[in-house]
Amino acid sequence: MPVLRQVPRSEVTSDVVKAYYDRLFGPDRDPVASPGTATGTPGDWWTVFAIAPDIFKHAVDGFAVYRHPDRKLDPVLRELGQTRAGWVQGSQFVFSQHCKSLRGLGVSDEKIAAIPHWAVADVFDDKERAVLAYADCLTSGAGRTPLAVFEKLRTFWGDEEIFEFTYITTLYAMHAVITRALRMEYDNREDPIVEVAAPEGFNASDFLSPNRAR
């Protein structure tokens, strides 16, 4: 379960939230009591964001931004950035959902599977590699980007496309962080980085001894 409360249908007063509940869960189902969406997700991203209807609206308006007809960005290159952002930020939800989006755009399973190790994969062309490199600068690099990356991007993008990609990729990095923090959707899981118990009889002082064999 998410760490924050979910808003049942009976408490929804926002027309925007109600419209999305109807669209995603059907007009009669309470998504808190009966979770699940058509894509197989629990759907609790929506029920948690409904805590603050104005933020809910801001978020869904942001989703519409990247699909707006005014966007110049190639949707495949855009989705590569969103998917890589999900992987770098460790969000199984964002990564998984945008793998599906890439597949819907006709991207091969081989390319999708190579996104985690794109730097050593030979399935991406020069544009895709440049885009993935910039996505890493925006996410794992927290925006620290060598000018050489922009020089490469400018061989096929103008300022508008670079700005669109920057905004959309960092937007999804933010969503990845929020989803992980609040344990929503596929990010409702324990952190895998934990201490592994030592064998029975292990003595910690022996481990710290300068004479211990390494």
Residue closest to 179 by CA, chosen among 64, 72, 97, 70: 97
Q: pLDDT of the chain along its 214 residues, tens only?
A: 899 999 999 999 999 999 999 999 999 999 999 999 998 999 999 999 999 999 999 999 999 898 899 999 999 999 999 999 999 999 999 999 999 999 999 999 999 999 999 999 999 999 999 999 999 999 999 999 999 999 999 999 999 999 999 999 999 999 999 999 999 999 999 988 998 988 888 887 766 666 655 5
Q: Whole-model pTM? A: 0.90
Q: At what angle do helices 53-66 and 15-25 cross, to 10 degrees?
A: 60
Class of domain 75-187: mainly alpha
Per the CB < 8 A criterion, the answer to whether 33 and 8 are in contact is yes
Stretch(es) of the chain classified as CATH 1.20.1290.10: 75-187
Report how far residue 63's alpha carbon sits from residue 174's, in angstroms, rounded to the nearest whole number.
Answer: 13
The b-or-e profile of 153-181 (16+ CB within 10 A means b, else e) is beeebeeebbebbbebbbbbbebbbbbbe
